[in-house]
Structure 1
Amino acid sequence: MEHLPPFESTVAAHGATVLRVCRAVVGHDDADDAWSETFLAALKAYPSLAAGSNIEAWLVTIAHRKSLDILRARARRPIPVAEMADAPSPDERSDAFHDLWPLVARLPLKQRQAVAYHYIVGLPHPQTAEIVGATPAAVRRAASDGIAALRRARSDARTESGPQPPREKGRS
């Protein structure tokens, strides 16, 4: 009957490989944390690992999953900044929205609903899909198309009201 090697020798044999996997997924700064989390999880599960298992592949799988956990946690953390920007005053916000309402009103119904529910109300796409009777993918696409149309309309409005750039004269 085959026995697993002591866990200490497993760490020594595969530690460098696990660290490379962690660095590849989370980068240098968080790799040590991912490495530690990997071997803590592996230590807990090691006694139940079947003898003859591919230990390196098992550890790489754990390292990949722990690294992804760290990436997810990082995405939820606020990003530190040197100085906070001043929030726009309620008057400034209402002026910006005031300019957008006529443009939103001109969108096709599905785009208007998707933009309003997702971006203005803040509902996630699946919930918006339930409300409008569509799939989340269709709502996501309608919202994307609606935002693109709003950007084009806003850009066109600025171009019409602002100074026109000089036109190049054609070559003969």
Structure 2
Amino acid sequence: MNTTIPFEQAITQHGATVLRVCRAVLGPGADAEDAWSETFVAALAAWPDLDPDTNVEAWLVRVARRKAIDVTRARARHAVPTDDVPDRPSNVGRPDGHDLDLWRAVAALPERQRLAVAYHYLGGLPHTETAELIGGRPDAVRRAAADGVRSLRRAFAAADAQEGASR
């Protein structure tokens, strides 16, 4: 894919992938949605100068990674305590039920596995590009992704067995 497509079409085609990556890195919440928005604001600013042969999806995943890091750093800098309880959050565009269990399971993975799963399986990046993002060799990233998926399968197999036993 190249950047001769309109920016709006890039959002339509790759917005879900970017949101999956943000949620996998930051968890299913407002921070992931903020990182998604910031990704496309930054992408819009850089769009006119992007090389026409750029893999737009991979580029957007890279931008999303940087925005997720920015959100993580901002979280660490300050907490904002409040006495007021916020209104109930909307469930629009948020995972529910079994999907929420998946996001929690991904969030519980060790960082390297979580990032490898997020960038490779959810973001669609090859292991070589994932290795460039998180550091290390492609074969080590491949192993981390495989270990992460194996852990997720075990967690869900155990949950399914437990659910079956309770019936």
Q: TM-score by structure 2 length?
A: 0.46
* Higher gyration radius (CA): 1
Q: TM-score by structure 1 length?
A: 0.44
Higher relative contact order (CA 8 A, sep 6+): 2
